[in-house]
Structure 1
Amino acid sequence: MLYIPLWRRILIWAVVAVGLLLALPNLFYSRVEVSNDAAQAIESGLTNEELQAQEGRWPSFLPDGLVNLGLDLRGGAHLLAEVQVEDVYERRMDSLWPEVRDALAAERDTVGFVTREQSEPDVLRVRISEADGVDRALEIVRGLARPVVSLTGAGAMDLAVSADGQVLTVRLSEAEQVALDDRTVRQALEIIRRRIDEVGTREPSIQRQGEDRILIQVPGVGSAQELKDIIGTTAQLTFRPVVQAFAEADTDVGSGEELLPFPSQGDEAYALVEQAPVVSGEDLVDAQPTFDQNNRPAVNFRFNPQGARAFGDYTAANVGAPFAIVLDDEVISAPRINEAIRGGNGIITGDFTVEESTDLAVLLRAGALPAELTFLEERTIGPELGQDSIDAGTVACIVAFAAVMIFMVLSYGLFGVFADIALLINVGLIFGLLSLIGATLTLPGIAGIVLTIGMAVDANVLVFERIREELKSAKGPSRAIAQGYEKALSAIVDANITTFMTAVILFAMGSGPVRGFAITLGLGILTSVFTALFVTRVMIVIWYDRRRPKTIEV
């Protein structure tokens, strides 16, 4: 029968109302965006009359979710970076040297004196003075190896150790190199994501490409150089023992030592420090801008338990000696240890401005990049180009709308008008769902919406054609409409399920623009089925209940 219960009608219109209400902020995009930015600034602690006025530009009782615009619509920066994984090998060998030295020194009676030889960055060469102790030295160093932590390297050890005369050669095994490369790129990916999130950019696209490359797309950033400034700083913090606090540029550098600039002491000032750090920035769990006892900008930091223990043990054993705080191969300060520093808390002081201390805290909190990034490709997409894309997409949608709506009216008369109204509601529901999930709209996404516009009336066409067939069987209008919806249902469901499965596969297997297309296509299928089977039907039933026509023309 051509009957829809009242509760179902109310539920259908309630869903439509909620969907259109969620889509409403997109009609006032700039106003809502300014209001949201002001609200976020106020929540972070900033407040003034201008921010409060901006926040009030959009009523707080209305939804404020927006469809985020992608790089091709909003403009922004595009970078393709390559992670220099070889840097990690060198640091791994530098950090391994103290452990090898101490392990061999414990067997000095057998292996003799231990010195480090010059070698390639990814190799550690160690010379022992006793030729008869080579076998024992090999056994000791191999005992320092640990199992490779990866699925592909299960059962393998992370170090490959060999001897040539009295020189031991230590390098990472092939299995460990593969695992380390993967961990390095993953870590770089996550740190880049955190750094970009720290500065509050909207909907960045950060994804891995190939073995050692990362694609970064950030809408709304003024230039590629600005984006590089955000993510290109390594912010590698280390705490190192000091060999000579104030040195000259020509100071002799011994094995395992490094001469680093000391800018706070002058342009030509240097400090001689050990290469192997006591604690590194990887052990940091928090960093916040603050002021020191002299009310100068500084940065408070806190270590994890492992870093706190190592830092506390070192300071307890070296009271009275200086140690260097090194940031990006520059000595920030070299304070003297007055007492053991337990608890893992400390402060970095230097010639900072408030802005510099805040930026440093952000970089340290986001973490140190594990390796240097080489930018292979960079593009800046201006907002004018993005606006051109929006205009072109708008024209495409309007043309598609107009063509479909005219076709439906000419083909099905009043029923075509109902289908056109449902089509408008359908697009509103798509934008409501995109706003609800915080999705990013790109040009391929607009293509998905345009495709949905064409597909949305497909279900109505099936229903209307079926009603025509039923009318030819001399059935009454009410029976023909009911039978039309009932018999067209299987074809509608079958066609849309197969297309929805395609959208799911595109989303699962694709990336970037392909996923944007898949999201709008998938959401469009759901809303088009809803509007065709429920919204259009409710409008037809309401019309029929009021008019009660003896005959109908479809």
Structure 2
Amino acid sequence: MLQIDRWKRILIIGLCVIGLAYAMPNLFYKRVEAHNDAVAAVEKAGGAATPEQEAAIALWPNWLPSSLVNLGLDLRGGAHLLAEVQVEQVYKARMDALWPELRRVLADQRSTIGAIRRVDAPDGQLRIEIENADQMSVAVQAARGLAVPVATLTGAGQDDLDVSAQGNTLTVQLSEAEKALTDDRTILQSLEIVRRRVDEVGTREPTIMRQGADRILIQVPGIGSAAELKALIGTTAQLTFNPVISTGSSADATPGIGEIILPSQEQPGLYYTLEATPVVTGEELTNAVPSTDQNGAPSVDFRFNPTGARKFGEYTSANVGQPFAIVLDNEVISAPVIRQAITTGSGQISGSMDYESANQLAVLLRAGALPAELTFLEERTIGPELGQDSIDAGRIAAAVGFVAVIFLMVASYGLFGVFASIALAVNMGLIFGILSAIGATLTLPGIAGIVLTIGMAVDANVLVFERIREELRTAKGPARAIDKGYQNAMSAIVDANITTLIIAAILFVLGSGPVKGFAVTLSIGIVTSVFTALWVTRLMTVTWFERRRPRTIEV
């Protein structure tokens, strides 16, 4: 019979009310956005609010939902970068870090192999000359003792180091399996660090994803320009603490093996010769915050983790009275003399910086150092005016489609077309409510998915209404015709929408960012369309029929 249980009616109406309540903040986008930004700023500041923040918070009631649909790069404007990670730099860093340990191991065999000396080699290789070439097998065996198995299924049975010998030269480099693993690890680490740096400045819903073997796509809505984004993420912020060997006034001097020459940031024309292998690196930092030094000048306070604190304490204890260089991105920003052992695990970076650069440096250090340099292959800036044009065009397209569908439905099915049109409006609200609740990002392809959903949303109603028309010719009364119409149309509606949902899932899994946006809105639209067609429209039809009790109906 044509009836819907009370609990089902309450559930249908409740779901519609909740969905529309979550969609409502998007009608007051700027007010709710200002409210959300002020709330986040107050929470970050520990609860203290300025008068401006209090005014912004008052723009939207706290008891109402305040989630918004995030606007993508093509709707809000922002910056687009395609970066290539120079993974080869990691090979060189691994070999430089291996040298002290390899030197110690070979030194233990000096009575057999004689003197050892590191010689120049291509990046990613470590070459050592052995005095007694006839004992090279001993050196090779000692070097292979430092290798460990590669921890992947594809690299099973292989070590991370490839050790070879030719004449009196021992060559050590990463094995092919270890290089593949290192490449993957470097890209993933770069992705995470870029994401943390972007999140630190409070941008909304950035798109940061891997493309190909060694590239990263970065799209950040709401940021001023691609140059601003590059300044934020393009700096490697590699902080190291290196022993000072000597100072000079020329950058053309030839450093010894295992040494580097770097310029002073504070004193132009001054160059430091440093040991290439640092004592402590920025990777062992746990926190960095902007502060002021003893003279009131801007500075950055930092703290090491237990491992870094131990190494820092041991070195400073053994080298009191010696200079110690603080190196940031291949520039010596400070080279203080160690006055006493520093065992607390904390320190301070000061020098020629203003408050803004001190805050920026703290952000970069907290996010961590990029494992390798990023080369930007593509950069674009999308202005907010272009984004607004896209929003306006999408709004017009959706409105035209909505009005056209309503006109055709009412013209074709009369009162039942009105019911379907009301359900279509509820459907649109539910789509935006779900997008807001899950924090999804809406892009131009996403708007295309919504416009497509407008057309698809009435397909289910058309099937139902046509079935009711057929049943009116044979069924005993209008109530029976309506009930049989919904029953007989159910299988066709489910089959048609499940196949479309499968296609949307494939697009989401295999597609890139814009395609994913289209797939998300299409998937949500399919679910809400079936719900509104089978339940919302039916509820309105049943409620009307119970009140009017017509002897005949016309579809």
TM-score (norm 1): 0.96
Shift of 1:246: 6.3
Kindly provide the amino acid, as one letter, of the partner of residue 510 in structure 1.
G
- Taking the TM superposition and a 5 Å limit, the aligned residue runs for 1:152-551 are 152-244=154-246, 248-249=250-251, 253-264=255-266, 266-551=267-552
Shift of 1:531: 0.8
Alpha-carbon distance between aligned partners in 1 of 2:397 and 2:517, rounded to the nearest angstrom = 17
Alpha-carbon distance between aligned partners in 2 of 1:289 and 1:491, rounded to the nearest angstrom = 63
Which residue in the other structure is 1:4 paired with? 4
Secondary structure of the residue aligned to 2:458 is: helix
Which residue in the other structure is 2:37 paired with? 37
Give aligned-pair identity as a percent. 65
TM-score (norm 2): 0.96
Kindly provide the amino acid, as one letter, of the partner of residue 110 in structure 2.
R
Alpha-carbon distance between aligned partners in 2 of 1:540 and 1:368, rounded to the nearest angstrom = 62
Secondary structure of the residue aligned to 1:54 is: helix
Which residue in the other structure is 1:22 paired with? 22
Alpha-carbon distance between aligned partners in 1 of 2:338 and 2:320, rounded to the nearest angstrom = 5
- Taking the TM superposition and a 5 Å limit, the aligned residue runs for 1:80-95 are 80-95=82-97
Alpha-carbon distance between aligned partners in 1 of 2:154 and 2:142, rounded to the nearest angstrom = 26
The answer (yes or no) to whether the contact 1:245–1:334 under 8 Å persists in 2 is no
Shift of 1:160: 1.5
Which residue in the other structure is 1:139 paired with? 141
The answer (yes or no) to whether the contact 1:297–1:357 under 8 Å persists in 2 is yes
The answer (yes or no) to whether the contact 1:75–1:381 under 8 Å persists in 2 is yes
The answer (yes or no) to whether the contact 2:149–2:158 under 8 Å persists in 1 is yes
Aligned residues: 553
Alpha-carbon distance between aligned partners in 1 of 2:525 and 2:77, rounded to the nearest angstrom = 25
Secondary structure of the residue aligned to 1:263 is: coil
The answer (yes or no) to whether the contact 1:242–1:271 under 8 Å persists in 2 is yes
The answer (yes or no) to whether the contact 2:251–2:262 under 8 Å persists in 1 is no
Are residue 72 (structure 1) and residue 103 (structure 2) matched?
A: no
Structure 1: where are the runs of 5+ without partners?
none
State which drifts further: 419-428 or 525-534: 525-534
State which drifts further: 8-17 or 358-367: 8-17
Shift of 1:474: 4.5
RMSD: 1.7
Shift of 1:343: 4.9
The answer (yes or no) to whether the contact 1:247–1:272 under 8 Å persists in 2 is no
Shift of 1:249: 4.1
Shift of 1:346: 2.8
Alpha-carbon distance between aligned partners in 1 of 2:50 and 2:8, rounded to the nearest angstrom = 48
Change (3 A) 1:247 1:97: farther
Alpha-carbon distance between aligned partners in 2 of 1:436 and 1:364, rounded to the nearest angstrom = 33
State which drifts further: 523-532 or 310-319: 310-319
Kindly provide the amino acid, as one letter, of the partner of residue 8 in structure 2.
R
Shift of 1:290: 2.5
Shift of 1:484: 1.2
Structure 2: where are the runs of 5+ without partners?
none
2:116 pairs with one of 106, 114, 117:
114
Kindly provide the amino acid, as one letter, of the partner of residue 501 in structure 2.
F
Which residue in the other structure is 1:124 paired with? 126
The answer (yes or no) to whether the contact 1:477–1:551 under 8 Å persists in 2 is yes
Alpha-carbon distance between aligned partners in 1 of 2:91 and 2:329, rounded to the nearest angstrom = 18
Kindly provide the amino acid, as one letter, of the partner of residue 543 in structure 2.
I
Alpha-carbon distance between aligned partners in 2 of 1:126 and 1:11, rounded to the nearest angstrom = 76
State which drifts further: 318-327 or 44-53: 44-53
Shift of 1:504: 1.6
Shift of 1:44: 2.1
Alpha-carbon distance between aligned partners in 2 of 1:480 and 1:74, rounded to the nearest angstrom = 49
Kindly provide the amino acid, as one letter, of the partner of residue 72 in structure 2.
G
Alpha-carbon distance between aligned partners in 1 of 2:252 and 2:495, rounded to the nearest angstrom = 79
